[in-house]
Amino acid sequence: MRHLALRLSPGTELRSALCEAFDESGAAAGFVAACVGSLTVAPLRFADRDDAVEVPGPLEIVALSGTLSTDGPHLHLTVADAEGRVTGGHLMPGALVRTTAEAVLGLTDAFAFSRALDPATGYAELFIRAR
Task: Assess contact for 57 and 92: CB atoms under 8 A.
Answer: no
Q: Report the pLDDT value the prediction gives residue 67, as an integer from 0 to 100.
A: 98
Q: Report the pLDDT value the prediction gives residue 42, as an integer from 0 to 100.
A: 98
Q: Report the pLDDT value the prediction gives residue 75, as an integer from 0 to 100.
A: 98
2-130: what fold?
60s Ribosomal Protein L30; Chain: A; (3.30.1330)
**Cα→Cα distances 29→47, 74, 113, Å:** 25, 12, 5
- Find, among 97, 63, 101, the residue nearest to 79 by Cα: 63
This prediction's pTM? 0.94
Task: Assess contact for 32 and 66: CB atoms under 8 A.
Answer: yes
Omega before 10 cis (within 30°)?
no
Q: Report the pLDDT value the prediction gives residue 18, as an integer from 0 to 100.
A: 98
Which is it for strands 52-69 and 72-80: parallel, antiparallel or unpaired? antiparallel
Residues of the chain with confidence (pLDDT) below 50: none
What residue spans define the domains of the chain? 2-130
